[in-house]
Amino acid sequence: MAMPTPSLVQDTEIAMTVRAAVLDLLRAFGMTSIFGNPGSTELPLFRGFPQDFRYVLGLQEAVVVGMADGYAQATHNAAFVNLHSAAGVGHAMGNIFTAYRNRTPLVITAGQQARSILPYDPFLFSAQATELPKPYVKWSSEPARAEDVPLAIARAYYIAMQPPRGPVLVSIPADDWAKPCEPVAARVVSTEIRPEPRVLDAIGEALDTSLRPAFVVGAAVDRDGAWSDVVRLAERHNAAVWVAPMSGRCSFPEDHALFAGFLPPMREKLVSLLAGHDVIFAVGAAAFTYHVEGSGPHLPAGARLVQLIDDPNIAAWTPQGTSAVGSIRLGVVDLLAREPPQPRGRPAPRREPPRVEPSTPMSVAFVMQTLAAIRHPASIVVEEAPSSRPAMQCYLPILRSETFYTMCSGGLGYAMPAAVGVALGKPGAKVIGLIGDGSSMYSIQALWSAA
């Protein structure tokens, strides 16, 4: 067979563009939904928009990121976000911060002006594109060459999906998309790290010998698919189960006999509620998330803290105790592989709240009680009503895994667009947006995307 002519080789080499290479990568990563609010510097990505992709338009960048956050959490995969340069990223920063605290994997691309005019400070460019989103992205890059954009997208995806997951940003000049480049193949990169056996053994021994253990569960339990395993482990130890302060997910059935309630972000009150327990197991949780200044010990007298967490930074600042770092699910599975401990009695059950009677105007508690009565247990609640959260926690119990989402950041404007993203990620599910505190006004444009 004759060798191809040099001209044919050259034509083959330049057939692939940055745009085509990136689209192929997104297909391989399962990211064929693009969330965006485009400006002029983003438009080259969308020429001849491929039929197998879906574009989800938001009318403001905070809405775009909120929808992508909900979608990524619902699908367990990074979501692809396309924003305008400095101004667009600035609008989005509130929900980028929330995605960072939610540990939500997002690959955020931001348009940049054409490379040829960057030396002249052109209109709508980003002067420090990689610095703008920091410190609330895991990684940010503006590739040195157009040919490096696909590699940067691939690296961004792998970093976003590594625990603890989170958002990343790639700034892409507008004229890069049409430049020739070599294709980049998607790789398999592990996203689970097994906790160190020696440290898990110490945690297991502490639980086995405890007289009155308590679990403090956090959002990472549900994020990591460890709900059922944590229930089994709590039942094995007959441990009272508390929810960590400011948790963005439900990680234990709130109608379970072992469910004890919700811990507040106040040091003295947290210590008071945990009094009487000799071992406290923080699983998937930063047990010490405080919102107001406090003083005194972090734990009740005589109590010992052990922790299983997916974030080494949390393990580093936890003020005392033993911390194992790694996958929550794999760690709990390893703890379940131990020999069962000696039987111990169950803790006292949680006191049921009194029934709320109708009033004029309706109380928040009555609204929550009514919603609990009429919703299906599989319905998904996406909540952003911080002032009403105590009433919700009393009268609207969450019963199943992946049926509750809120923000771990305290930044308003998340839940309305996130409800749209969760609905897109879980088609057919009933999604209830529970919005209060004026939160809807921060991202009211989400109603357009919902419609």
Q: How far apart are CA 451 and CA 444, in angstroms?
A: 12
Name every residue whose Cβ is closer than 8 Å to that of residue 381 and which is 6 or more positions away in sequence. 375, 396, 398, 403, 404, 405, 432, 434
Asked if residue 14 has pLDDT above 60, the reply is no
- Among the listed ranges 9-18, 100-109, 258-267, which one has the minimum average pLDDT value? 9-18
- Res 334 pLDDT > 50: yes
Cα–Cα dist 154/139, whole Å: 12
Mean pLDDT, the chain, whole residue set: 94
Is 256 a residue whose pLDDT tops 90?
A: yes
pLDDT of residue 48: 87
Q: Which two tokens stand for residue 321?
A: 């105790």
pLDDT in tens, 100-140: 999 999 999 999 999 999 999 999 899 999 999 999 999 99
Radius of gyration of the chain (CA): 24
Beta bridge partners of 241: 215, 259
Q: Tell me the CA end-to-end span of the chain in Å, nearest whole number.
A: 59
Q: How far apart are CA 92 and CA 86, in angstroms?
A: 10
Q: Rounded mean pLDDT of 353-380?
A: 96
Separation in Å, CA 385 to CA 66, 132, 136, 343, 413: 16, 29, 23, 41, 11
Q: How confident is the model at residue 339 (pLDDT cuts 50, 70, 90)?
A: very high
Its sign, for the CA torsion 64, 67, 70, 73, is: negative
Share of the chain above pLDDT 70, in %: 97
Interval 287-297 mean pLDDT:
90
Q: What percentage of the chain carries pLDDT values higher than 90?
A: 90
| Tens digit of each residue's pLDDT (9 = 90 or more) over 306-322 | 999 999 999 999 999 99
- For every residue of 61-82, DSSP letters joined together read HHHHHHHHHHHHHHHTSPEEEE
Neighbours of 54 (CB within 10 A): 12
- Give me the active site residues, please: 39-40, 42, 61, 84, 291, 410
What are 327's two structure tokens? 């996958």
Kindly report the pTM of this predicted structure: 0.94
Q: Residue range 264-287: average pLDDT?
A: 95
Find, among 428, 400, 434, 430, the residue nearest to 414 by Cα: 434
In the prediction, which pLDDT does 40 show?
Answer: 87
What CA–CA distance (Å, rounded) separates 429 from 422?
9
> Is residue 447 very low, low, confident or very high in pLDDT (cuts 50, 70, 90)?
very high
The pLDDT tens digits of the residues spanning 206-246 come to 999 999 999 999 999 999 999 999 999 999 999 999 999 99
pLDDT at 193 over 90: yes
The predicted model gives 348-366 an average pLDDT of 94
Q: How confident is the model at residue 9 (pLDDT cuts 50, 70, 90)?
A: very low
pLDDT the model gives residue 322: 97
> What pLDDT is attached to residue 8?
38
Q: How far apart are CA 129 and CA 172, in angstroms?
A: 9
User: Which residues have a Cβ under 8 Å from the Cβ of 386 and sit 6 or more positions away?
Assistant: 410, 436, 437
* Average pLDDT value for residue range 30-55: 93
Question: Residue 2: is its pLDDT beyond 80?
Answer: no
Distance, in Å, from the CA atom of 11 to the CA atom of 138, rounded to the nearest integer, reads 38
Please report the domains of the chain, with CATH numbers, ordered by start residue.
Answer: 6-176 (3.40.50.970), 197-336 (3.40.50.1220), 364-450 (3.40.50.970)
Structure tokens at 134: 């920091």
pLDDT tens for residues 373-430? 999 999 999 999 999 999 999 999 999 999 999 999 989 999 999 999 999 999 999 9
291 vs 70, higher pLDDT: 70
Q: Is the pLDDT of residue 327 over 60?
A: yes
